[in-house]
Structure 1
Amino acid sequence: MTVKPEWLRVKAPQWQRVGSVKEILRDLGLNTVCEEASCPNIGECFNAGTATFLIMGPACTRACPYCDIDFEKKPKALDPLEPLNLAEAVRRLNLNHVVITSVNRDDLSDGGASQFVRCIAEIRKFSLKTTIEVLIPDLCGNWDALATILSAKPEVLNHNTETIPRLYRQVRPQGDYGRSLELLQRCKQLTPEIYTKSGLMVGLGETDAEVRQVMTELRQVDCDILTLGQYLQPSPKHLGVQDFIHPTQFDAWRKFGESIGFLQVVSSPLTRSSYHAEQVRDLMDKYPR
């Protein structure tokens, strides 16, 4: 794999705090995308006592060649205790903001929407002050399933477009760019009070103009929040990095995003979908709904 530039080097985490978070997760039998997807910010987030919970996993029904989540294992039946255990983890970690994501569960008729709802409901029983963000798959375009998730009233609904349309067949072969945009648009139409969010990874061969076009189209469906980060190859069997994007380019995209109306743009080489996600609470204070 290509040698990473200086700006992609991550400080070594303080393992005592990381270990305590992992202990809670293991005790409750929970998965995090931080671990399953080999996130480079795991040390920083775990040290801060935060995590992005991965429900209905860790086995995924899709085989996206950029993603480190396992697709070779057969997905298991939903765990009826998962929502309760997730709520207990939020309580123990004393989280102000929690992110719940999932693997793709195309084997389920509702794509797992009902499990998202159960998790939200359990968290609200024990942690009334915790704001909730759900990072959801495209649900195969099942808009009834989307409505089910929205009925639970998460504060933020996140769905990543991931890459530019030209690279979808290569990067996200079982996804559809238009479907992802439609999901975000429908969310805003059904529940305009919910903040919508999306994310892009760069370094796969896209051009600056193509990135800006996706940003513009996300604003056209009234997406509120955007994250932009560098794609990093998890292993030799995954898609290779085509370019390491310099931090100045990320800053330029941030400024462009703010100029076209995003309420918040988090853009840096190490940014991931849930990186500093708790900052959305400041956004809610500034732009209340």
Structure 2
Amino acid sequence: MATLIDIENRPALRHPEKQKRPDSPIQRKPEWIRVKAPVSKGYAETREIVKSKGLVTVCEEAACPNIGECWDKKHATMMILGEICTRACAFCNVRTGLPGAVDTDEPRRVAEAVAEMGLNHVVITSVDRDDLEDGGAQHFVDVIEAIRAASPGTTIEILTPDFLRKPAWALDKVIDAGPDVFNHNLETVPRLYLSIRPGARYYHSMRLLERVKERAPHQFTKSGLMVGLGESKEEVMQVMDDMRSAGIDFLTIGQYLQPTRKHAPVERFVTPEEFKSYEVLARAKGFLMVSASPLTRSSYHADADFAEMKAAREAKRG
């Protein structure tokens, strides 16, 4: 499993498809997004549980800046279906290549880890598996069912791939498994998809989230954006409107951070004041929950945010 310190030193192993790209300078981070190195006892305990179960986390693979804070509280986002992605997004630090066979024992180990950590809320994500007929849908179902059996009191949030060019039943199968929150990130504005997320399609991703609401209106839906990639404020606001038209409940907005010199460069660091402005705008547009800050990531404070989102829905209905 990769560690945080070898990311910059091993780009050839993680991202062979990016080696012909010219280097982009990595800007010095402003004071408001610098974090301390993870050294706490809770962090070490979480790492040991994850390692002992032979699991992969997006926290490590994507070099999340919040890993120290989250793992100290035993909040780890499990990444299923392996650690090699079939896509080559310009922003992502997860390895790219041809994945191996699906590990059919993984659902059991994930469920055991969730129970051992005593999680009230868990986030499950995955790499893209374009090589599989169903894009990994059945494996998501198996993981959800295993967690329900091992830890019935745990609420489950999934962060899925887009199931692009997969049969419609694949997505429906995951929806019908009944996760409490169905998350799929749009990542950026439509204009930047070709350069930032070339393997995906903006309107397909939006339609996926709309489909969740059509099939399971009670399920919370969630999506996220990165900013600092060259988007305009007006473009972000248009995406918010598209999300609300699709019935999305929860919006996350965070600062894009460049993993290596071969990845898309940071165009600018968005200030905390601008993030606050985005939050105010999003809440005015009707989202039940908004998390917008430089360090916001899809699963950051997911347990507390889920509780707040449930309360907001109940208050709205009441």
User: TM-score normalised by the shorter chain: which range applies?
Assistant: over 0.9
1:277 to partner: Cα distance:
0.7
Q: Which residue of 1 aligns with 2:187?
A: 162
Choose from 169, 178, 182 the match for 1:144. Answer: 169
Give, as a single letter, the amino acid of the residue that structure 1 aligns with 2:107.
P
Q: Contact 1:141–1:183 at 8 Å: present in 2 too?
A: no
* C-alpha distance after superposition, 1:208-263 (max 9, x if no partner): 00011101110010100000000000011111100100000100000000001000
* C-alpha distance after superposition, 1:160-195 (max 9, x if no partner): 000000000000001000001000001100000000
1:283 to partner: Cα distance:
2.0
Q: Which residue of 1 aligns with 2:124?
A: 100
Local SS of the residue matching 1:95? coil
Whole-angstrom CA distance in 2 between matches of 1:67 and 1:286: 32
Unaligned runs of 5+ in 1: none
Choose from 49, 65, 77 the match for 1:52. Answer: 77
Asked if residue 287 in structure 1 is aligned to residue 313 in structure 2, the reply is: yes
Choose from 172, 192, 195 the match for 2:217. Answer: 192
Asked if residue 227 in structure 1 is aligned to residue 255 in structure 2, the reply is: no
Q: TM-score of the superposition, structure 2-length normalised?
A: 0.89
Whole-angstrom CA distance in 2 between matches of 1:38 and 1:44: 13
1:282 to partner: Cα distance:
3.1
Asked if residue 208 in structure 1 is aligned to residue 229 in structure 2, the reply is: no
Choose from 47, 69, 75 the match for 1:22. Answer: 47
Matches within 5 A, 1:57-76: 57-72=82-97, 74-76=98-100
Whole-angstrom CA distance in 1 between matches of 2:31 and 2:73: 24
Asked if residue 34 in structure 1 is aligned to residue 56 in structure 2, the reply is: no
Q: Contact 2:85–2:129 at 8 Å: present in 1 too?
A: yes
Give, as a single letter, the amino acid of the residue that structure 2 aligns with 1:278.
D
Give, as a single letter, the amino acid of the residue that structure 1 aligns with 2:100.
K
* C-alpha distance after superposition, 1:22-68 (max 9, x if no partner): 11111111000000000000000000111110000100000111100
Q: Which residue of 2 aligns with 1:130?
A: 154
Local SS of the residue matching 2:123? strand
Give, as a single letter, the amino acid of the residue that structure 2 aligns with 1:114.
Q
Q: Which residue of 1 aligns with 2:12?
A: none
Give, as a single letter, the amino acid of the residue that structure 1 aligns with 2:283.
E
Local SS of the residue matching 2:297? coil
Q: Contact 2:288–2:312 at 8 Å: present in 1 too?
A: no
Whole-angstrom CA distance in 1 between matches of 2:231 and 2:266: 11
Whole-angstrom CA distance in 1 between matches of 2:310 and 2:149: 22
Whole-angstrom CA distance in 1 between matches of 2:213 and 2:102: 29
Asked if residue 252 in structure 1 is aligned to residue 277 in structure 2, the reply is: yes
Q: Contact 2:187–2:225 at 8 Å: present in 1 too?
A: yes
Unaligned runs of 5+ in 2: 1-25
Give, as a single letter, the amino acid of the residue that structure 1 aligns with 2:109.
N
Q: Contact 2:289–2:308 at 8 Å: present in 1 too?
A: no
Q: Which residue of 2 aligns with 1:240?
A: 265
Percent identical = 50
Q: TM-score of the superposition, structure 1-length normalised?
A: 0.98
* C-alpha distance after superposition, 1:134-183 (max 9, x if no partner): 00010015321110001110000000000000000000001000001000
* C-alpha distance after superposition, 1:90-117 (max 9, x if no partner): 0010000000000000000000000000
Q: Contact 1:141–1:179 at 8 Å: present in 2 too?
A: no
Whole-angstrom CA distance in 1 between matches of 2:213 and 2:39: 40
Asked if residue 268 in structure 1 is aligned to residue 305 in structure 2, the reply is: no
1:129 to partner: Cα distance:
0.8
Whole-angstrom CA distance in 2 between matches of 1:284 and 1:31: 29
1:12 to partner: Cα distance:
3.4
Give, as a single letter, the amino acid of the residue that structure 2 aligns with 1:132.
I
